């Protein structure tokens, strides 16, 4: 009974960290995978720097964020990929979002739906399209959770060009389902998802739009994704 009570208390404490709109906004911003300064997050959330610092201290103490210091500068990022998965999964369970208003907001929302990063892997229509194509080709098995098949591992370390050593004794799951909050369907997370995102960015197949999470498929990426997975219509 004591263990159950302790678990309930800890769960309530975790939920309380995200129950504040400012802290939630900061965590969602950090889903881009970058390290942000307190000043940058304060400006993003529309609060004073001192207020931002108080919120960041709570998030760090609660284990959701990790802190890095370079000289006088303090940077924070999501503690690890599991925090990003938690945030994306929670966002996907919300009701339909209110339609954005204003040309800038509508354009930004459309870009996020087309393609974005979810911490270190691809999301949006792009992420789901890659996941579906891998599944159809027998590279990913979704019948009992997410698992990269033997053919999928050979594909990742062959045609895709990933280092085989990255998949030897991995410290995180090779494949994990992450519920996409715009598509309401799973996309590929885990080590394979992270390495694919990294590879596509390095090849110039996918490019970031500004400094946010949105990404676009380049002309080179349109050809590359078609040749690699038969994907069309994402440019």
Sign of CA dihedral 47, 52, 54, 58: positive
pLDDT band at 71 (very low <50, low <70, confident <90, very high): confident
Residue 84 phi, psi (nearest 5) = -60, -45
More confident residue, 111 or 194: 194
**Which pLDDT tens digit goes with each residue over 199-219?**
999 999 999 988 778 899 999
Sorted by sequence, the CB contacts under 8 Å of residue 204 that are 6+ apart come out as 218, 220, 221
**Rounded Cα–Cα distance for residues 113 and 116 (Å):** 7
Cα–Cα distances (Å) from 7 to 1, 13, 60, in that order, read 10, 10, 20
pLDDT at site 100: 61
> What's the average model confidence in pLDDT over 168-183?
87
Strand, coil or helix: 211: coil
Domains of the chain: 2-79 (1.10.10.10), 85-229 (no CATH)
pTM: 0.74
pLDDT at site 6: 63
Beta strand ranges found along 1-72 (DSSP E): 36-37, 65-70
pLDDT at 136 over 70: yes
pLDDT at site 1: 44
pLDDT at 103 over 80: no
Sorted by sequence, the CB contacts under 8 Å of residue 9 that are 6+ apart come out as none
């Amino acid at each position: 009974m004591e263990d159950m009570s302790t678990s309930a208390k800890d769960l309530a404490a975790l939920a309380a960290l995200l129950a504040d709109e400012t802290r939630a906004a900061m965590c969602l911003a950090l889903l881009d995978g970058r390290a942000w300064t307190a000043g940058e997050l304060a400006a993003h959330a529309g609060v004073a720097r001192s207020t931002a610092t108080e919120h960041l201290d709570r998030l760090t103490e609660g284990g959701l964020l990790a802190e890095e210091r370079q000289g006088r500068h303090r940077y924070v990022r999501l503690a690890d990929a599991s925090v990003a998965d938690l945030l994306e999964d929670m966002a996907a369970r919300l009701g339909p979002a209110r339609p954005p208003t204003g040309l800038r907001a509508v354009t930004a929302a459309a870009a996020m739906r087309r393609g974005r990063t979810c911490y270190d892997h691809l999301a949006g229509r792009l992420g789901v399209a890659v996941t579906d194509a891998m599944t159809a080709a027998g590279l990913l098995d979704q019948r009992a959770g997410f698992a990269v098949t033997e053919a999928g591992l050979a594909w990742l370390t062959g045609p895709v060009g990933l280092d085989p050593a990255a998949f030897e004794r991995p410290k995180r799951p090779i494949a994990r389902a992450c519920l996409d909050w715009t598509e309401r369907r799973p996309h590929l997370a885990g080590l394979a998802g992270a390495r694919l995102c990294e590879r596509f960015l390095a090849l110039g197949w996918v490019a970031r739009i500004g400094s946010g999470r949105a990404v676009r498929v380049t002309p080179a990426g349109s050809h590359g994704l078609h040749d690699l997975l038969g994907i069309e219509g994402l440019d």
